[in-house]
Structure 1
């Protein structure tokens, strides 16, 4: 079906939602892609970047190459992701520092709804699928419990961090930004974006491109041969990530950087009624509901083929 200009605007809006989610440590842009109905097309389009694609460019010209690449789709989506990620990262940093309960409440509601919408796509339940679901839950929960490494600014490390984080960014339930925090690269990247440090940004981007092209082939193969099991594993990832985005936390250990600024290093989820301070429970519940309803809107958009 031929896409209209409006269809690409909708795809860019989905990219904006993905970029905003990826900017928040604990939330996955892959979840948004899944719910909005573009996940498998995204994985297939990325995995099409291979030697045969460039042979098509040399032998047949740009138009067949661009069509095989699904270029219009990728450009529209990536434009939304990049603009949103770069701009929202600053806002996310402010909200996490000043209104953590409220921003986590919104994303908690969003992820709860995501579990339902991703899980309902599993066509048939059996024992292997249940095992895949449990494995996904355990892996994501374990990742959410990991503490951060110290900041590292070496180029090779940024390249590796980019490759690993981009794999997480396209996995529903596994947050690319949270992986960057665990690796100790989140602050380095956010500072580079803030200061427009082109060298660090390009090194990170190069790692991300290599990681994305490699991992997309694995995901495409899994969807082709083990569709329901893959969906169950991804649903488990989303379910297990709820621990990370639970709004009420108790900080167990702190990290003090070279400037003497303290940031939480290891936290555990607690009841809002045992939270030390204003638990903001009414506003938190309201934002959970808004986050939950946001997924219904994205799912409605995703149900329309664009």
Structure 2
């Protein structure tokens, strides 16, 4: 029962994360040590799905609750307390790094026990390459995107939503990559979120089909990589997660607050910075202790 409740709350966080552009649902899954199992159950094999129903049901219900019920709350926090909210996510992401490091060591140990050469160089190379990709994405993340919200379905829009849903789902599976941010870059984020908020079934159908296709394709690719090259795969994931800290870190907001540390705004700015630091620390230990006890 306790395990189901824990999975439900993890699902809520996953659901919320997948709604917010710039926040990676895959990273959150890694943080709470459910990523490997989640990738394993995203399949067309009915027997596999039924055998994991105690994992899928509470996690899935939590994700639905997070997307529908908590997205407005988190949107409010990002609008009114962006620095503190981003720093909380920075802490959560940073706290998961020891977990990935342990997984890399464990994978290398398994390779060594099979009397095979441990791929230290290629693992480090994968980590560096994907860290570089994340840093480059951070530099160019301020893209100009469409904010047009479509409310009526047309044939061209059907295919646009189908493709964007598939691409967003594949991105969502990869730690460090935000599916919502990709939708924002494509220009369909406002329409997709609007259709969920207004429960616009005709618009939700092509998006849902695309997401299902993307999840199946993405999960298959990740599973294959973890079976064939586990060390390099975890190395790449480590690079993506470390790089996602640069993406989420609110440097501009912190600099703005620091420049306001004078005159009448001193107390308010100092308080905001201290609360932000506290949020980061709380996020770190929440993530670290959760992954350590998993």
TM-score by length of structure 2 reads 0.82
Instruction: Compare the two structures and name the one with the higher strand fraction.
Output: 1
Residues 248 and 272 in structure 1, CA contact (< 8 A), matched pair in contact too: no
| 2:18 corresponds to 1:22 | yes
The answer as to whether partners of 1:159 and 1:206 remain within 8 angstroms in 2 is yes
Q: Deviations over 1:241-286 (max 9, x none)?
A: 1222112327xxxxxxxxxxxxxxxxxx958635798472111111
Cα displacement (A) at 1:176: 1.7
Distance 2:246 2:147 in 1: 24
- 1:99 counterpart = 2:75: no
**Structure 2 Cα separation of the partners of residues 232 and 139 of structure 1:** 13
Q: 1:270 to 1:223 in 2, by over 3 A?
A: farther
Q: Deviations over 1:2-46 (max 9, x none)?
A: xxx443332222211211222222221212222322211111111
Q: Report what 2:121 is aligned to.
A: 127
Which stretch shows the higher mean deviation, 230-239 or 271-280?
271-280
Matches within 5 A, 1:112-151: 112-123=94-105, 124=108, 126-144=120-138, 145-146=140-141, 147-151=143-147
Q: Which runs of 5+ in 1 are unaligned?
A: 54-63, 251-268
Unmatched runs of 5 consecutive residues or more in structure 2: 109-118, 151-156
Q: Deviations over 1:198-249 (max 9, x none)?
A: 2222221111001101111111000001101000101111111122211232
Contact 2:96 2:291 in 1 (8 A): no
In structure 2, relative to structure 1, the CA distance for the partners of 1:275 and 1:209 (3 Å cut) is: farther
Alignment correspondent of 1:258: none
- In structure 1, the residue matched to 2:277 is 285
2:65 maps to which of 61, 83, 97: 83
More helix by share: 2
User: Do 1:101 and 1:284's aligned partners in 2 also have CA atoms closer than 8 Å?
Assistant: yes
Report the equivalent of 1:59: none
Deviations 1:88-128, CA, capped at 9 Å, x for gaps:
22122222222111111111111111223222321147211
Provide the aligned length of Structure 1 versus Structure 2: 266
Find the counterpart in structure 1 of residue 199 from structure 2.
Answer: 196
Aligned residue for 1:178?
Answer: 181
Work out which of the residue numbers 154, 166, 178 in structure 1 matches 2:169.
166
TM-score by length of 1: 0.79
Aligned-partner Cα distance in 1 for 2:177–2:202: 27
